[in-house]
């Protein structure tokens, strides 16, 4: 019984991942998944450590696949500024772990597997000002 359930879960996951990508996502895009976000331990915040050390602000645009329940199943980084501070990865991890699409948006879309873009702006604040 367990093997059959595991096989069904594996097949469902691969069907979702083979869904067509929006044209904005390049073929060589790096995807981030909820499993990675759950494993990450954010000590103080989701702010990228490299950017925090440099006291840098930044932004990222990600495109995420939305599941039927409103949770995100995978995200790709479309843009990040500045490019070497990992704002894209941090945004993807934050949204995979915390974001959920509203019921109103869900009603206006297909039953699952659709894509939604998010832009997130990061502003550095020292720890003593938080």
**Cβ-based burial of 81 (10 A; exposed 0-12, middle 13-18, buried ≥19):** middle
Tell me the β-bridge partners of 80: 60
For the residues 71-98, what does the mean pLDDT come to? 95
Residue 44 vs residue 81, higher pLDDT:
81
Check residue 112 and give its pLDDT: 59
Residue 126 vs residue 114, higher pLDDT:
114
pLDDT above 90 (res 48)? yes
**Cβ-based burial of 44 (10 A; exposed 0-12, middle 13-18, buried ≥19):** exposed
Confidence of residue 130 (pLDDT cuts 50, 70, 90): low
Tell how many helices (H) and how many strands (E) occur in the chain: 5, 4
Kindly report whether the peptide bond that precedes residue 51 is cis, defined as omega within 30 degrees of 0. no
Task: Kindly list the domain boundaries of the chain, sorted by start residue.
Answer: 27-125
How many beta carbons lie within 10 A of that of residue 116, not counting itself?
Answer: 17
CATH of 27-125, one of 3.40.50.150, 3.40.1050.10, 3.30.2420.10, 1.10.20.10: 3.30.2420.10
Q: Can you spell out the DSSP letters for 28-91?
A: TPPEE-HHHHHH---SS-SS-HHHHHHT--EEEEEEEEEPTTS-EEEEEEEEEESTTS-HHHHH
């Amino acid at each position: 019984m367990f093997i059959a359930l595991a096989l069904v879960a594996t097949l469902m996951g691969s069907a979702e991942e083979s869904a067509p990508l929006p044209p904005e996502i390049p073929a060589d895009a790096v995807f981030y998944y909820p499993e990675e976000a759950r494993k990450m331990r954010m000590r103080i915040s989701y702010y990228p450590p490299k950017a925090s050390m440099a006291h840098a602000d930044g932004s990222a645009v990600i495109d995420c696949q939305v599941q039927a329940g409103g949770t995100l199943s995978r995200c790709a980084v479309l843009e990040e500024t500045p490019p070497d501070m990992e704002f894209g990865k941090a945004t993807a991890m934050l949204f995979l772990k915390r974001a959920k699409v509203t019921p109103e948006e869900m009603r206006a879309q297909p039953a699952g597997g659709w894509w939604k873009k998010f832009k997130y702006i990061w502003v550095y604040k020292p720890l003593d000002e938080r």
